[in-house]
Structure 1
Amino acid sequence: SGKTTIFNALTSGKADTRSLAPHIGIAKIPEPRLKVLADMLHPKRVVPAEVSYIDIGASVKGLGGDRAIGGQILNQLSDADALIDVVRAFTDESIPHIEGSLDVERDIATANLELAFYDLGIIGRRLERIETSLKGTKATERQGLAQEQQLLTKLKADLEKEVPIRELKLTADQARTMANYQFLTAKPLLIVVNIGEEQIPQAASLEAELNSHYSRAKSGVITLCGELEMELTQLDSDAAEVAQHLKKGEVFRVTHRFNISGAEALLARRQT
């Protein structure tokens, strides 16, 4: 899908796109107002906000089933403030698609289902333990377990209807209880559609169409050409050279918009 390519574009990194090992990088958030404030206030240091990205280097396929991916990757997913689903839309016969064909909406749906299946597995195991605990606890201790059971049963029913936890309206107490589990569908989700250079003229219309289907509470879609963005970030600071690439579609700004979206996702996560 081009996850590592986009990771390199965002972080100005040079991670091996063939490696399945996790990569960690940091991107600074572009904020033009920061320079204005610095010129007015003359601080000793100007430190822009940053977003940390982790490229897990593995597919979420099988995440919710018996072929679940390794513990290290699960820990990284659980600890993340937000998730990015990179979906392939570019054509390259030298890189076979894992499913054998290109289908953006199918791949988005598959990833969403895998995240939901993972959360359902956690809920199912916890409900079994609660059921056992309720049989042996004192009446005074049952209230908390019963409330947790009620919440998890509700989450389970919604997930089975393909409604992610991030879209649910929960009370403050319910949100605190749920936070202990680090559910994947509770995290803000940014869907990144990785297009080819020839698709750049249609990028805005494709993004708008997909957002009409997938833009929800704490989730949305953004399109970018990962290969071109990576090439641009790895150029020397030759303004003329960069300008030549910008003529292909003025896509250099997309990584800036992406990093801003990443920051907004973190804020959405921390405000819950």
Structure 2
Amino acid sequence: MEIAIIGLPQSGKTTVFSALTGIKVDQAARGDHSIGIVKVPDQRLPPLADLFKPHRVVPAEIAYIDYGAFVKGFGKAEAGLTPQFLSQLARADAIIHVVRVFQDDRVPHIEGSVDPKRDIASMDLELAFADMAFIERRLERMETSLKAAKPQEREAAHAEQQLLARMKDRLEDNVPVSEQELTLQERKLIENYQFITAHPMLNLLNYGEGQEAEAQA
């Protein structure tokens, strides 16, 4: 299982990555991402191993991937939303979005103020833009291929076009793919597409010391 960790600059996502994996990241030497693999403890394994006597006992593993921070600005290389980044993010099984709540004048927020609701909405919008752009490219390619399609193929393609157009409309209404009402047949039509907003996403609020009461509120 792969879990992507994303967030704006100075959100503390690399600190979260280190806490989850035990790996200290050298910010000066890091590349575009860091990977840490953690074995998942399972108390059921020892008794099952005693019962079935396997040659090897292999616990489940989670790979945490800490991607370089990016700023707002869909489609801009400096924002981190490059095609390569989006492709990597689409392959993740789940996403952790680290959201800054802590106050520290020594570490200025990229937007000039700390506002977790704004940052969550901004990130949701960026990821929705990525899925909408994918749908637009797919629809353009389908228009071209339909000209040479057979009648039976054309019927299936039209159904997919209608589905993708509807999904794009819902994304424009701030409804991620994961929350859209799709039939089993519709989900089968798009099962090979890796929509980013189809992934489970956890917004992890990163509070600072002394904010315990606020965090529990």
TM-score norm. by structure 1 comes to 0.67
**Count of aligned pairs:** 203
The answer to whether the 8 Å contact 2:98/2:203 transfers is yes
The answer to whether the 8 Å contact 1:4/1:16 transfers is no
The 3 A distance-change label for structure 1 pair 40 and 203 is: farther
Instruction: Choose the corresponding residue for 2:150, options 125, 128, 138.
Output: 138
The 3 A distance-change label for structure 1 pair 61 and 178 is: farther
Where in structure 2 are the equivalents of 1:99-248 lying within 5 Å?
Answer: 99-205=111-217
- Aligned-pair Cα RMSD in Å: 2.4
The 3 A distance-change label for structure 1 pair 46 and 116 is: same
Unaligned 5+ segments in structure 1 are: 206-272
Whether 2:61 is the aligned partner of 1:50: answer yes
CA shift, 1:168, in A, is 1.6
Superposed CA offset, 1:2-50 (max 9, x none): 111100000011112454520000123344x437736974957654322
The answer to whether the 8 Å contact 1:60/1:114 transfers is no
The answer to whether the 8 Å contact 1:65/1:117 transfers is no
The 3 A distance-change label for structure 1 pair 17 and 142 is: same
Partner of 2:6: none
The answer to whether the 8 Å contact 2:96/2:201 transfers is yes
Partner of 2:23: 13
Instruction: Choose the corresponding residue for 1:27, options 21, 38, 48.
Output: 38
CA shift, 1:173, in A, is 2.8
Unaligned 5+ segments in structure 2 are: 1-10
Where is the helix percentage greater, Structure 1 or Structure 2? 1
TM-score norm. by structure 2 comes to 0.83
